Structure 1
Amino acid sequence: MKRILYTILSLLALTVPVKAQDIPDPMSPPRLVNDFAGILSADEQNALEQKLRAYNDTTSTQIYVVTVKDLNGYEPSDFAFRLGEKWGVGQKGKNNGIVILIKPKIGNDKGRAFIATGYGMEEVIPDVTARQIVDKEMIPYFKENRYYKGIDAAINVIIDLAAGLYTADEYYSGESPWPGIIFIIIFFAIIFLSARRGNRLQGGSIGRSLPFWLLMSSMGSGRGSSFGHFSSGSGSFGGFSGGGGGSFGGGGAGGSW
């Protein structure tokens, strides 16, 4: 259904005057944070760029942050989809790209935000989850003109969801993953201390404890591992090119303020 709707929107866009067809090219040199609207300081841009570069290098998933002053006649969703396809966001064959689009509030003109997900990310970030990230993590900060905080909060949630730290359903329902995480930490600590005690008493290896470690490893392998939220910092970065993906079929959601 989403693909049909996206196709209809694309056909309708053909009737829009040519001047409204402008989707910007990536900044030069190419980067993951493209602040065309000028709402981020240099340090804030560098902090986000560092985080997103490290995430891309570790997982191959590409998250682009794009701010614009004008949507050029497009709906935020259509603008984000077209930009993702034009820029080739995501890896070829995986289409694991995400575009976080922000048009700040200017005067009486509403602010708009949209998270567009490539085909490969739609199961990780369902539409309802994308909408909740915009509503809960981004817009409250944007209303206070704290754009960096809102963007950073959204990125943190996306990274955690993609890493399997918690599911989209858990995020949607507000369930905390920490009780389970604390239990696992305690379990590991007990096994480790027991193994050390047994090793001291018997002078042997901890081989008898290996099945427990294998069990815990197999339990965690399906969820992936979270490498946390990368630290902020300033610095310069070289050019960054798209991954050759860019297949966006209508996944994502947004909001306004």
Structure 2
Amino acid sequence: MLLHGCPVGKVTPAPPVAYAGKHQAPLPQLTGRVMDNAHLLSPAQVAALTRRLAQAEVRTCHQIVVLTVASLAGEPIEHLGQRLGNGWEIGRRGYDDGVLLVVAPAERQVRIEVGNGLRRALTDAEAARIIQKDMVPRFRKGAMADAIDAGTTAILREIS
């Protein structure tokens, strides 16, 4: 089905992909727009965020996935974000217009990976600003769900 010139649908789960490397565990299976593996969000918060991301995808055609991880298991968050973005193929094929927000609370790290098709709308500098101004102050207060919500809102503002 097409809406506003883009295919509309659910996130298609990708199979786990294994990568050989010193710090590279197999990728988890993509199961939805919000994957709260670190248990930072309530079920109601996951549902609300999932709805917002689905609505944004209908409006913009850009796909956003939010992932929290219990641990990076020694892998740099930059590598994990790139592996997930590429392995899960977030965004439309041929447009590379996906965004992945990764939160690793145990290591106190957060990362926004942006597909090449959105780099003009959401630059590395803007992603860093979102993390530093919208997310980190909330994380420092222990308001994990608020930080994720604020980061997601800022990402949506930039790519809409």
Normalised TM-score (structure 1): 0.53
- Paired with 1:98 and 1:15, the residues of 2 have a C-alpha distance of 24
1:149 and 2:152 matched? no
Aligned partner (choices 122, 128, 131) of residue 128 of structure 2: 131
Q: CA deviation at 1:39?
A: 1.0
Once the two structures are TM-superposed, the CA of residue 155 in structure 1 deviates from its matched residue by 1.5
Higher relative contact order (CA 8 A, sep 6+): 1
CA distance in 2, matches of 1:21, 1:77: 12
Tell me, in whole angstroms, the C-alpha distance in 2 between the residues paired with 1:112 and 1:148: 15
Change (3 A) 1:145 1:93: same
Q: How many corresponding residue pairs? A: 142
Where structure 2 has 5 or more consecutive residues not aligned to the other structure, the ranges are 1-18
- RMSD of the alignment, in Å? 1.6
- Structure 1 residue runs of 4 or more that deviate by more than 6 Å after TM superposition: none
Alignment of 1:115-194 (within 5 A): 115-163=112-160
Q: CA deviation at 1:25?
A: 2.2
Question: Residues of 2 paired with 1:55 and 1:84: CA distance?
Answer: 18
Aligned with 1:131: secondary structure? helix
Q: How far is the alpha carbon of 1:23 from its aligned partner?
A: 3.8
Shift of residue 72 of structure 1? 2.4
Higher strand share: 2
The alpha carbon displacement at 1:73 in A equals 2.2
1:149 deviates by: 1.0
| Larger helix share, 1 or 2 | 1
> What amino acid does structure 2 have at the position aligned with 1:133?
I
TM-superposed CA distance for 1:14, in Å, is 5.8
1:38 deviation in Å? Answer: 0.9
The answer for unaligned runs of 5 or more in structure 1 is 1-12, 164-257
The structure number with the bigger radius of gyration is: 1
Which has the higher mean CA deviation after the structures are superposed, 147-156 or 79-88? 147-156
| Aligned counterpart, 1:58 | 59
